[in-house]
Structure 1
Amino acid sequence: MVEGLGVWPPVGGVAVDVGGVYERLAGVGLEYGPVFRGVRAAWRRGDEVFAEVALAEEQRAEAGRFGLHPALLDAALHTAALGGDDSEQDSSRPGPGLPFVWSGVSLYATGADTLRVRLAPAGPEAVSLLVADTTGAPVASVASLVTRTVSPEQLRAARNVTHDALFHTTWRAVPTQVEAPTTTGQWALLGTGAQYVADVGQGGPASPAAYPELADLIQAMNDGMVTPDTVSVSFTADSGARVGDPAEAREMAHRALR
């Protein structure tokens, strides 16, 4: 049970009207769509802010996919806009504070779709965050979240900049036939596919020396058996590997680095 969140509404808390919280945030440049409008109720007790936040009905089935659903975590931070006196909401701050530095973050449970939240000051431009489920059991905590103030003008200007930051893996087909180098002079083949290349290679000696491991090539060079002008390195996946298997790609990359 999280201290201060086991009894709900919080003891000594003064209810806050949350009806206009998202209109207020939009007024300073932070506009949220329906998925992120999760603040349901709030209370103030001195410098502390308590709130109940919940996912929209359409997103609740997704809660189990996350440690803490990002829309729910974001809604928990929206309650910072409810701090202070009503008379100071828009006049005393140059702009909204955006999350900047997270410290002491812990996750205790997963899959919550409704949260009890407590925010409290944790230093200049910083708050601490306690999060519990509807029974008061701990879900997450943040010892310190430092925010950085941005102006409404900066936020509006950012809307006009297009960022494609959604990265994903794209597999590119490569030829299955490995071609030997056409460099003239003495050359050696190294790697798990070396013998295959030696059998079909063209543009070099008819039977270039093949070495399965780097240590074998080094030993041959130390013994004066070979001093290649060119070393061709080949990597072949295990015969049972699935085409495009990310694990196999990582193994090949690690082998190349070694």
Structure 2
Amino acid sequence: MQLSVGAPDGVGRRVVGVFSQVEGEGVWTPHASGVLSADVPVVGEGLGVWPPVGAVAVDVGGVYERLAGVGLEYGPVFQGVRAAWRRGDEVFAEVALGEEQRAEAGRFGLHPALLDAALHMAGVGPEDEEPGPARLPFAWTGVSLYATGATELRVRLSPSGAEGISVLLADTDGVPVASVDALVGRPVAAEQLTASSQLTKDSLFTVEWDRVPTEGMQGAASQVQWAMVGSDDLGLTATLEAAGQDVVSGPELATLAGSPDVVLVTCASESDSGAQDLPSATRHLAHRAL
């Protein structure tokens, strides 16, 4: 999977896109696009009164069995619904991450498994109601994030327009975490969900780093081509050459001749970065390293 973020326009908005490919084929298929902005609207209310006044408790013991019946089989990481209530057309729920996922919640604006679980009760009607086809989130409008790193949420799902729902997510004190003005689902047949099941049903994608092979490099040091990009404030070039190594250098990666085996870049703060505060200098250096 791949997420792209474009350059900001004149008012600070960026176009974002989500793509995927089957490993080995090399063709990226677009799945979603949207607009990202740093502006966050003021949220009007929270969920401080809990359980909601006038709401009737719902038995959630068979929620994931009912969802599996329409083709939505959620693995253990995503089975986060803990309790639910109904009040007219509104649905309220408590969702939480499992113990193993709580430690990584701070890495996300909103943990994907927690956000997914917050929407599960939208697909579960009353027990005496015949279940309809599975609906997957399709069009999101007005998504706002107010806080990060949540591990538990209070959820309110309300009708919005002819086919959509509005979503309000709050922490365990009722303080808003995120909101969605309107979310429209797309009906999906059960056979569509299982047609290309190349992944385990509890898959959660993460960043994967490719390890550079080092076998044979030490034993064949004389054949290794080293390259130094940019300044060499630490004197690495002289050290390598003194050890009999072949070193080329250039101001940028694109200026290097040939295909070096190992490329070295000095990741040190620039001379003027001392005037910056530590967070700004850190961001600047991390951006330069990337």
TM-score by length of 1: 0.63
Runs of 4+ in 1 over 2 A off after TM superposition: 1-4, 85-89, 165-177, 233-242, 245-250
Is this contact kept in 2: 1:2–1:136, CA < 8 A? no
Letter in 1 for 2:120: H
Rg larger in structure = 1
Q: Quickly say closer, same or farther: Cα 1:61–1:247, change in 2 above 3 A.
A: closer
Instruction: Return 5+ residue gaps in structure 1 as ranges.
Output: 178-191, 193-232, 251-258
Structure (1 or 2) with the greater helix fraction:
1
Residues 124-180 of structure 1, C-alpha deviation per residue, up to 9 Å, x if partnerless? 332110000111101000111111110011112131589xx8775658899557xxx
Give the stretch that moved more between structures: 145-154 or 60-69: 60-69
TM-score by length of 2: 0.56
Of all paired residues, the percent bearing the same amino acid is 63
Structure (1 or 2) with the greater strand fraction:
2
Question: In structure 2, what is the Cα distance between the partners aligned to 1:86 and 1:4?
Answer: 29
Letter in 1 for 2:194: R
1:49 alignment partner, one of 64, 69, 91: 91
Written as runs of structure 1 = structure 2, the 5 A alignment for 1:187-226 is none
* Structure 2 residue aligned with 1:137: 175
Following superposition, the deviation at residue 4 of structure 1 comes to 6.0
Question: In structure 1, what is the Cα distance between the partners aligned to 2:163 and 2:145?
Answer: 23
Written as runs of structure 1 = structure 2, the 5 A alignment for 1:92-103 is 93=132, 95-103=133-141
RMSD, aligned CA: 3.5
Written as runs of structure 1 = structure 2, the 5 A alignment for 1:7-156 is 7-83=49-125, 85-90=126-131, 93=132, 95-156=133-194
Is this contact kept in 2: 1:54–1:72, CA < 8 A? yes
Q: Quickly say closer, same or farther: Cα 1:168–1:120, change in 2 above 3 A.
A: same
Question: In structure 1, what is the Cα distance between the partners aligned to 2:192 and 2:85?
Answer: 30
Q: Quickly say closer, same or farther: Cα 1:88–1:158, change in 2 above 3 A.
A: farther
* Structure 2 residue aligned with 1:240: 266
Higher relative contact order, structure no. (Cα contacts within 8 Å, ≥ 6 residues apart): 1
Question: In structure 1, what is the Cα distance between the partners aligned to 2:59 and 2:175?
Answer: 26
